[in-house]
Amino acid sequence: MILALRLLKDQNEAEDIVQDTFLKVITKIDAFRGQSKLGTWLYRIAYNASLDRMRQKPESSLLEDESEDSDEYFIPMPES
């Protein structure tokens, strides 16, 4: 949830992302190949869902001085 909250800056949207993540895991668990840890796979699903949600927002909601290259959006992967 922290990941989605940091990216989206909205409690309700972050909760939606967490729910969507777990629904996707339930329906796609057979796609998990075990090449990474399950936590890493979950993290990536949540991260991608958060990015998709951000892309759906109108650009006018973004601040003018934000850029995609900003370190503000860098979120390290969980430690193994």
**Predicted pLDDT of residue 1:** 81
The Cα-based distances of 52 to 8, 30, 45, 56, 79 in angstroms read 10, 23, 11, 6, 24
- Amino acid letter, residue 10: D
| Residue ranges covered by each domain of the chain | 2-57
**Predicted pLDDT of residue 64:** 47
Where the chain has pLDDT below 50, the residues are 60, 64-65
**Predicted pLDDT of residue 65:** 46
Q: Which helix (H) or strand (E) holds 24?
A: helix 11-28
Between CA 18 and CA 8 the distance in angstroms is: 12
Between CA 28 and CA 30 the distance in angstroms is: 5
- The answer to whether 77 and 30 are in contact (CB under 8 A) is no
